[in-house]
Amino acid sequence: MTIVSQIGSTSFPATQDSFITSGFYAVGDLGRGLMYVRGGGYRQVADAQGQVWHVADTDDIHASQLGVVTFNTNYAQFNADVINEAIRYLGQRRGGRLRLPPGDIYANQTIESIYGYVTVEGNGAGYPHDAGAGIVFGTTLVATHGGVALRDRTPGAAERGVDKTQNWKNMGGGFVGFRVTGSFSRGLHVTSRNKAKYHLYIDGATQQGAFFDCLPDSRNGTQNYEIQEPGDNQVLDLDLDVRVSGSADGVYFSGNQNSGNTSIIHRAHITVYHQNGHGVVYFNADNVIINALRTFGNGSGRSFYVCATTGPGAYTYGNEIQNYSANTLGFIEAISNRPGSNQHGKMYIGSMDVGNGTQQPTLGGTGAQFWLRNGQDGEMVFNNGLGPWSLSQIGAYGGVEDGSLQYYCGITGKGFVMRKDGTLRLGTGTILR
């Protein structure tokens, strides 16, 4: 047993092939409970005889063993360097888990992963709420640099040093179980990731709490693509509690001109407190499925905002909120709001918490569509806003709960309701069969 800072002045018997560090020499010392073995490698250090030792290969690292310091602003640079170094080590060795200790960890640069299967895990977000529970700290990353706090991305082909036809998305890993606060523009920025997990409490971003975008991909031969497969984020697991103020948006899904952003989020629970920014933004984003969205607005921002860029290839399509509760209106732009866009302005909502005051979203014009499934008493409510619509278009989405879908042609108006018994009601007017 020895202290890391004392290895350089310690001689080890030639027969000894490993040792475990016993603790810190001083705050910030690199090591507590780490096993060292002979040879060069991760965190190598020489002993008094010049023999080289390195940290034994592992896929489970405790950041406190590397000297990460809590509740001390003087170690913001040190902490960021140590955490990023550990992420690189795990990523280059084929993945693993980095455990962050409880307490406030100051960091003055972005914590970034460009690897798959690397999970950075905290001790839970925040502090206990129960009176008399005692001081049991969760993990809080306190950013002090004003930039992006957490970054998780697939590198472009050039950065990775491979041909574009061989550049594939990173899979697995993510950031889970801690709070992000301090001074930062984005709490989390994710690009072109597959089957990753993000369970975070993000408090205080100046631009977006969480931001999801994608690399240009090979589906459109005219663009300078960076990834061979679809560049979308796919099959992500999100549990985000976001609090922003001013004009900052809570969660922002952004695609590029030729690729929607996020296909198939299989689990997403999002809570947002916002002011003049929006709770959730869908900008060129398609197939974003949120299991539960709850927003609390205190300003001019919308609970959610659906929009696309102008020009060919732009679309925002097939998005769904399965359980929706908000105290401010959502908004869905129409195609007419963005000339030249394609398949734009549709949102499916499974159920709305009307008891909490949630209202139907507003629509930007002809072409904007809002579909509510499972309305009161099993009704399905359809509202396309300002233009004529044919009921036969329902068929692509499904039927009423008992399967008794019937087709009606030439239906026009601003909205209608398909009742559970298979009848149709136009607005508050006559029921038709």
Cα–Cα distance, 346 to 323 (Å, whole number): 17
Q: Which residue has the higher pLDDT, 188 or 378?
A: 188
pLDDT confidence of residue 256: 65
Q: With cut-offs at 50, 70 and 90, classify the pLDDT of residue 38.
A: very high
pLDDT confidence of residue 347: 79
365 lies in which domain range? Answer: 59-432
CA 288 to chain centre: 11
67 and 34 part of one domain = no
pLDDT confidence of residue 28: 52
pLDDT confidence of residue 131: 61
382 has a pLDDT exceeding 60: no
Cα–Cα distance, 181 to 189 (Å, whole number): 15
Query: Which burial class, exposed, middle or buried, applies to 430 when counting CB atoms under 10 A from its CB (0-12, 13-18, 19+)?
Result: exposed
66 has a pLDDT exceeding 90: no
Q: How many domains does the chain have?
A: 2
Highest mean pLDDT among 98-107, 326-335, 378-387, 403-412: 98-107
- State the chain's mean pLDDT as an integer: 78
Length of the chain: 433
pLDDT confidence of residue 122: 96
What average pLDDT does the segment 367-382 reach? Answer: 55
71 has a pLDDT exceeding 60: yes
pLDDT confidence of residue 220: 63
pLDDT over 70 for what percent of the chain? 69
pLDDT confidence of residue 29: 57
Kindly report the CATH number assigned to the domain that includes residue 224.
Answer: 2.160.20
What tens digit of pLDDT does each residue of 114-142 get? 999 999 999 998 655 566 666 567 899 99
44 and 63 part of one domain = no
95 and 41 part of one domain = no
Amino acid at 366: T
**What is the C-alpha radius of gyration for the chain, rounded to an integer number of angstroms?**
26
Picking from 22, 39, 57, the residue at the C-terminal end of a domain is: 57
Picking from 14, 35, 57, the residue at the C-terminal end of a domain is: 57
Q: Which residue has the higher pLDDT, 405 or 209?
A: 209
Cα–Cα distance, 227 to 170 (Å, whole number): 11
What average pLDDT does the segment 404-415 reach? Answer: 36
* Virtual torsion, Cα 253, 327, 379, 391, nearest 10 deg: -50
45 and 135 part of one domain = no
51 and 192 part of one domain = no
What average pLDDT does the segment 63-81 reach? Answer: 91
List residues bridging with 176 in a β-sheet: 121, 199
pLDDT confidence of residue 21: 80
Query: Which burial class, exposed, middle or buried, applies to 186 when counting CB atoms under 10 A from its CB (0-12, 13-18, 19+)?
Result: buried
Side-chain half-sphere exposure of 225, counting CA atoms within 13 A = 21
Cα–Cα distance, 188 to 178 (Å, whole number): 12
36 has a pLDDT exceeding 80: yes
188 has a pLDDT exceeding 60: yes
* Virtual torsion, Cα 83, 86, 92, 93, nearest 10 deg: -150
Q: Is 17 helix (H, G, I), strand (E, B) or coil?
A: coil
- Predicted structure pTM score: 0.83
42 and 72 part of one domain = no
pLDDT confidence of residue 126: 64
- Which residue pairs, CB below 8 angstroms and at least 24 apart, start in 215-219? 215/154, 215/156, 215/191, 216/256, 216/258, 216/259, 217/258, 217/259, 218/164, 218/165, 219/258, 219/259
Q: Identify the weakest region by mean pLDDT among 110-119, 146-155, 254-263.
A: 254-263
Cα–Cα distance, 204 to 144 (Å, whole number): 12
User: Residues 124, 125, 129, CA angle at the centre, nearest 5°?
Assistant: 100
320 and 308 part of one domain = yes
Cα–Cα distance, 175 to 203 (Å, whole number): 15
379 has a pLDDT exceeding 50: no
65 and 33 part of one domain = no
Residue 113 has φ and ψ, to the nearest 5°, of: -125, 130
Cα–Cα distance, 122 to 341 (Å, whole number): 42
110 has a pLDDT exceeding 60: yes
What tens digit of pLDDT does each residue of 324-370 get? 999 998 888 765 555 555 555 577 787 777 667 787 777 776 666 67
228 and 327 part of one domain = yes
pLDDT confidence of residue 403: 37
User: Buried (b) or exposed (e) across 408-426, using 16+ Cβ within 10 A?
Assistant: eeebeeebbbbbbeeebbb
Q: Which residue has the higher pLDDT, 133 or 270?
A: 270
What tens digit of pLDDT does each residue of 190-201 get? 999 999 999 999
37 and 122 part of one domain = no
pLDDT confidence of residue 400: 33
Q: Which residue has the higher pLDDT, 298 or 380?
A: 298
User: Residues 246, 250, 255, CA angle at the centre, nearest 5°?
Assistant: 120
300 and 425 part of one domain = yes
List residues bridging with 432 in a β-sheet: 424
What average pLDDT does the segment 359-383 reach? Answer: 60
Q: Which DSSP symbol is given to 101?
A: P
What average pLDDT does the segment 305-329 reach? Answer: 77
What average pLDDT does the segment 168-176 reach? Answer: 95
Q: Which residue has the higher pLDDT, 247 or 41?
A: 247
User: Buried (b) or exposed (e) across 238-258, using 16+ Cβ within 10 A?
Assistant: bbbbbbbbeebbbbbbbbbbb
Highest mean pLDDT among 1-15, 49-63, 350-364, 405-419: 49-63
* Virtual torsion, Cα 121, 127, 129, 133, nearest 10 deg: 100
pLDDT confidence of residue 280: 95
Q: Which residue has the higher pLDDT, 107 or 357?
A: 107
What average pLDDT does the segment 261-287 reach? Answer: 84
- CA proximity to 208, closest of 252, 168, 144, 178: 252
What average pLDDT does the segment 268-293 reach? Answer: 91
- CA proximity to 364, closest of 320, 305, 318: 305
13 and 38 part of one domain = yes
Q: Identify the weakest region by mean pLDDT among 204-218, 285-299, 347-361, 411-425.
A: 411-425
Picking from 9, 40, 57, the residue at the C-terminal end of a domain is: 57
